[in-house]
Amino acid sequence: MRKQTGPDDWREANRARWDERVAIHTASDYYDQSAFRRTRDVIRDFEAAEVGDVTGRSLLHLQCHFGQDTLSWAHRGAARVVGLDFSEPAIEAARDLAAELGYGPDRAAFVAADVYDAAEAVPDTAYDIVYTGIGAVNWLPDLAAWAETAASLITPGGFLYLAEFHPLGDVLDETSGSQVTYDYFRREAWDEETPGSYTDFGAETVHNRSVEWLHPLGDVVSAVAAAGLRIEFLHEHDMTLFQRFGVLRRGEDGCYRFPEGRPRVPLMYSLKATKPA
């Protein structure tokens, strides 16, 4: 696997960006906290089907943001969930949300730490399920170290589950989603200034720099396999969770797809990999 390159201050730049966006996100329609307080569950159908029954299991959520997904797994019966994110404001918001929903720290704990420091930062040595994704790996420069960290935190017989936006989506033009416009094999970071957020493009923000990487699908699978996990499946999906390209149509299930009759490319992928018992 070839190495990604990027600026030394990627972590500080990204953390400042995410810290500032927590309050915007918790107040947004996109994350609709009042609906979440009612339903307590935002896990997408394909994730629920692929992860399976979590009743009684322990689950670690890497890059948990302010905890909606993490707490959803608790609602679905996980005995103990731990969320980790490097944004202190995100972790504070997650703890508040957990307390509001009546989950004590034994049931739902949240830790502020970089994903690469997860092994030292989380309260338990290992978990039945390590769950991550939905806009997570693109913030990380070193997939090998990420996969090793995740693998080290899985109980033997347990698994990693990753659901992500497909890297093919990063190379197509934003409007039609049909022109190959960007290089799939680029190694350099996208180091950009973009105000606002995906929840509110017009939001006034100060910390606008983001440093992100495109991880080809082969690199993700190879990193997970090299970390000693057995790939159970790699699924590619014809849908995504937001208006990635102007041409996509929102379906009744809330997911976005290419219009009928248009040749499709995968827009998301999901992977399950087990730690040998």
Ligand X SMILES: C[S@@+](CC[C@H](N)C(=O)[O-])C[C@H]1O[C@@H](n2cnc3c(N)ncnc32)[C@H](O)[C@@H]1O
Which stretches of the chain bind ligand X, using CB under 6 A? Answer: 11, 14, 18, 63, 65, 68-69, 85-87, 90, 114-115, 134-136, 139-140
Half-sphere exposure of 61 (CA within 13 A, CB side): 28
Q: Which residue has the tokens 């730490």?
A: 113
64 φ, ψ (degrees, to nearest 5): -85, -5
Q: What is the DSSP letter of 229?
A: P
* Strand blocks (E) in 107-229: 108-112, 127-133, 154-165, 190-193, 209-212
Q: How far is the CB of 261 from ligand X (least distance, A)?
A: 31
139 versus 256: smaller Cβ distance to ligand X = 139
89 versus 228: smaller Cβ distance to ligand X = 89
68 versus 240: smaller Cβ distance to ligand X = 68
Q: How far is the CB of 136 from ligand X (least distance, A)?
A: 5
CA dist., res. 223 & res. 24, Å (int): 34
Q: Residue 160: left (phi > 0), alpha (psi -120 to 50), or beta?
A: beta
Q: What is the DSSP letter of 75?
A: H
Q: How far is the CB of 69 from ligand X (least distance, A)?
A: 5
136 versus 168: smaller Cβ distance to ligand X = 136
Q: How far is the CB of 143 from ligand X (least distance, A)?
A: 12
Q: How far is the CB of 174 from ligand X (least distance, A)?
A: 19
Q: Which helix (H) or strand (E) holds 250?
A: strand 249-250
153 versus 247: smaller Cβ distance to ligand X = 153
Q: How far is the CB of 170 from ligand X (least distance, A)?
A: 15
58 versus 210: smaller Cβ distance to ligand X = 210
Q: Count of H helices and E strands in the chain? A: 8, 12
